Chain A
Amino acid sequence: MKVFALIDCNNFYASCERVFDPRLKGRAIVILSNNDGCIIARSNEAKALGIPMGVPFFEQKAILKKYSVAVFSSNYQLYGDMSQRVMDSIRLYVPDMEVYSIDEAFLRLDYLQPRNLYEYCKTIRAKILQWTGIPVSIGIGPTKVLAKVANHVAKKQTADGIFDIRSRQKQDEILKTLDTEKIWGIARKGSERLSRMGINKAAELRDASSAIIRRHLSVVGERILRELNGQSCIDLEAIQPKKSIMSSKSFGNLLTKKESIKEALANYAVRACEKLRKQNSRAQAVHVFIQTNGFQKTDRQYNNALTHTLTTPSSDTRIIIKAANFCLDRIYKQGYRYKKTGIMLLGLIPTSLEQKQLFVDFNPRPSDHLMGVVDRINKDHGPDTLFFGAQGVTKEWKMRCGSRSPRYTTQWDELLRVR
């Protein structure tokens, strides 16, 4: 029988902040999205205060102040580095793992056959805590869906953060009271559909007819039903290169001038191209969008987007910036106050799989070499040591991140200080 585990970091972003500032222990913490727009993460204490998730920061300012909640801008450099440390620590114990998100990993434990699975997970949990300072919960089950359910229980109802749902008896007990919305892969829409069919709890879905579920929720729903029955259908997945790359952020201030938006867009294009080259791919099309601020009810609203197909797949930043400008020139309209722009690179293909075109023949291309040099210089000497003219120097559009904590683990001049 297969045995899966899901390791999930508890309140990951808040926990990262606590590692480097012990005064935050036991204090309510919220983390804001890019540009300090919305609340995107909360510590347990903040949840207990009733501060909701995903709401605009300005709406909550009063209550945050009243309870002296610690407010942080998101510090993705820190969270990314700590995530890698957590994953590296797990990998020392369990080589068969799938990094599922920044703070979750699925493991296969049956290959290891440890004598006492529970004790083994306890050791892993203690090690992660010691090495990184991040508390985690571990759910163990015969399938990924059940391991996810077990993790939910581990987080909410256990003292040591570990729950094993492999026995049928435990499955009955837990699934009986679990809402279908909480099941991995079902989400709000699926659960509303199930509810109309009279299925509200996970156990009812498990015991439903698979044919009917397939008819209403497609094969995905049927697979979940099987997984709830302990029949493993979804295995660990190796990391696949991304099919599209997105780079977008809100502006620090609303922008009206095309030149400023162009500058921001060029910067996102540069980031996107760096990612593209890092995974050794080229893009076949460039998609650009602009948006006004939907929260600003008094402003006139305008949102638009355009996709431009490239003659030849490319990872050359200069060509991508040109294509992005081409799109922006066509969708930009004067007289609006813009909040956000972004670029998406589509139709990514590996550099190795390139078809030669009849009239375009450079493979390998001279630009590959040039971009390689740019990437290397920026890697060795810091981001944007070498930058494109279109990126500009004043950066009027730059993000707000007023209350970001120091990037303790990725910047020499922001290290933790000890007396």
Chain B
Amino acid sequence: MTTVFSIASKNKCSLPLALCHVEAGFPSPADDYMEGSLDLNDHIIKHPAATYFVKASGDSMTGAGIFNGDLLVVDRSLKPVHGKVVIAEVDGQLTVKRLFKVEDRFSLQSENASYPPIEIQEGNEVVVWGVVTHVIHNLL
């Protein structure tokens, strides 16, 4: 079934939203004024045709809030620039790291002190698969 990941509008998951912030205590009278509904896909996915979901393994990016088993939302249409968390190709494997560019030299850095950064040889390009836009982490 293509329904889950063809992230087009046909597959909306809408939740009605009350316009006030959630505070413990009394509901605001403004809650009577409901305003349509919100679609989490709309919020997270700007380019459906270019957006892919991938699963993170391991603990190399825990500093960036990415934990083992987390779901990553990856947008291939975005330009990979210095400082972004990206999916990149290293030795034929796809890996999630933070992209650094210092004086025309690229490196891919983990966010966990026990993993050394991956330096890209001068003149070589990093092949970036896509830019990670969101992490979906289950708190349960």
Contact = CB atoms under 8 A, between A and B. Distances in A.
A133 B76 contact: yes
Contacts of B93: 22-23, 419
Contact of A415 (B55, B95, B129): B55
B72 to A, nearest CB: 7
B84 to A, nearest CB: 15
Contacts of A127: 77
A138 to B, nearest CB: 18
A358 B20 CA distance: 60
Interface in A371-419: 379, 382-383, 408-412, 415-419
B18 interface: no
A25 B52 CA distance: 20
Interface string A96-140: 000000000000000000000000000000010011110000000
Contacts of B94: 20, 22, 416, 418
Nearest to B68: A419
Interface stretch (B3-11, B22-30, B31-39): B3-11
Contacts of B77: 127, 130-131
Contacts of A89: 49-50
A177 interface: no
A85 B50 contact: yes
B1 A418 contact: no
A97 to B, nearest CB: 14
B5, B48, B127: residue with the most chain A Cβ atoms closer than 10 Å:
B5
A237 interface: no
B57 A419 contact: yes
A85 B55 contact: no
Contact of B96 (A131, A133, A419): A419
A408 B54 CA distance: 8
**Dominant secondary structure of chain A at its interface with chain B:** helix
A354 interface: no
A77 interface: yes
B127 A410 contact: no
Contacts of B87: 418
Contact of A419 (B3, B53, B58): B58
Contact of B2 (A20, A77, A419): A77
Contacts of A408: 52
Contacts of B16: none
A88 B51 CA distance: 12
Contacts of A419: 56-58, 60, 93, 95-96
Interface residues of A, number: 30
B13 to A, nearest CB: 11
Contacts of A132: 49-50, 76
Nearest to B79: A130
Given A23-B92, A131-B49, A131-B77, A418 B5 contact: no
Interface string A74-96: 00010011001100110010000
A131 B47 contact: yes
B128 to A, nearest CB: 10
B119 interface: no
Contacts of B4: 410-412
Contacts of B129: 22, 133
A316 B52 CA distance: 36
A381 to B, nearest CB: 10
A22 B127 contact: yes
B49 A88 contact: yes
A242 to B, nearest CB: 18
A196 to B, nearest CB: 47
Contacts of B49: 84-85, 88-89, 92, 131-132
Given A133-B129, A409-B53, 18 more contacts: A22-B127, A77-B2, A81-B6, A84-B6, A84-B49, A88-B8, A130-B50, A130-B77, A131-B49, A132-B76, A415-B53, A415-B54, A415-B71, A416-B52, A419-B58, A419-B60, A419-B93, A419-B95
Interface of A: 20, 22-23, 25, 77, 80-81, 84-85, 88-89, 92, 127, 130-133, 379, 382-383, 408-412, 415-419
Interface of B: 1-6, 8, 47-50, 52-58, 60, 71-72, 76-77, 87, 89, 92-96, 127, 129
| Shortest 5 CB-CB contacts between residues of A and residues of B | A88-B49, A131-B50, A23-B92, A416-B54, A415-B55
6 contacts: A22-B92, A22-B129, A23-B92, A85-B49, A417-B54, A419-B95
